Amino acid sequence: MPQNMLTRYTPTDFSQLKGLRGISDQQIEAHLKLYDGYVSNTNKLNERIAELFDQGKGGTREFAELRRNAGFEYNGMILHEYYFGNLTPHGRGAPMDRGEIGMAVSDSFGGWDAWKEDFQLVGEIRGVGWAILYQDPITGRLSNHWVTLHQDGHPAGFKPILVMDVWEHAFMLDYSPAERSKYIEAFFGNIDWDAVERRLVSSAAVRPAAA
């Protein structure tokens, strides 16, 4: 079987995420259990694909369906790691106006307020999915995008910089479905901007954007 099918993923420890403001410990705990499920399902998916491969059943409908489902399970695992990884109980509540992330947002959006308004609007789009701030690693430019479920809408090759889960399971213990905007405001207050900044591609590695 292909060697990568033997990879076993283990859940990242996010137990430090207690005491967020506006997102309860109970909500985070329930959400982390769901994340564990994606890690487990990704491992099961790979195990079954490997079995079918070894049995010479690569041409079956089951094999094809599992391969199609990989985008959902893998992104369900990975996006939650980005999401929990850009939260902190020590959030400063307001984005930095200096530093590399500040300059990158300012260059791409014209300022924090324009970025935040756009990110919030993307996050309020009806349906289940994610609002994600990406960086184009070629030009360094940042842009906000909506991702449906876990897999539809990712701009190919772009790097997630800030990831916000807006599936209802992300806030349903704290807010009603109609209160998604309150959850988004709470999310802004708990962003770990240092973690976000570390995800940026170094400015030395990107090609200057066309004027």
Residues of the shown chain interacting with Fe ion in the complex, contacts defined by CB under 5 A: 165, 167, 170
CA distance 84 to 147: 17
- Of 6 and 128, nearer to Fe ion (C-beta) is 128
Q: Which is nearer to Fe ion, 18 or 92 (CB)?
A: 18
Q: How far is the CB of 34 from Fe ion (least distance, A)?
A: 6
Q: Which is nearer to Fe ion, 107 or 179 (CB)?
A: 179
**Minimum CB–partner distance for residue 112 and Fe ion (Å):** 26
3-state helix, strand, coil in the chain (%, to 5): 50, 10, 35
Residues near 145 by Cβ (< 8 Å), separated by ≥ 6?
122, 131, 132, 134, 153, 154, 155, 158
Spatial contact of 115 and 144, defined as CB atoms under 8 Å apart = yes
* Residue ranges of E strands in 125-170: 129-135, 142-148, 159-165
Least gap, CB of 20 to Fe ion (angstroms): 15
Q: Which residue is nearest to Fe ion (CB)?
A: 165
Closer by beta carbon to Fe ion, 146 or else 167: 167
| Choice between 23 and 170, CB closer to Fe ion | 170
Query: How far apart are the C-alpha atoms of 188 and 71, rounded to whole Å?
Result: 27
What is the per-residue burial (b if ≥16 Cβ within 10 Å, else e) of 143-152?
bbbbbeebbe
Give least dist CB 95 to Fe ion, A: 23
C-alpha to C-alpha distance for 61 and 188, rounded to whole angstroms:
43
Closer to Fe ion by Cβ: residue 130 or 158? 130
Are 136 and 204 a contacting pair, CB within 8 Å?
no
Closest distance of CB 84 from Fe ion, Å: 9
Q: How far is the CB of 169 from Fe ion (least distance, A)?
A: 5
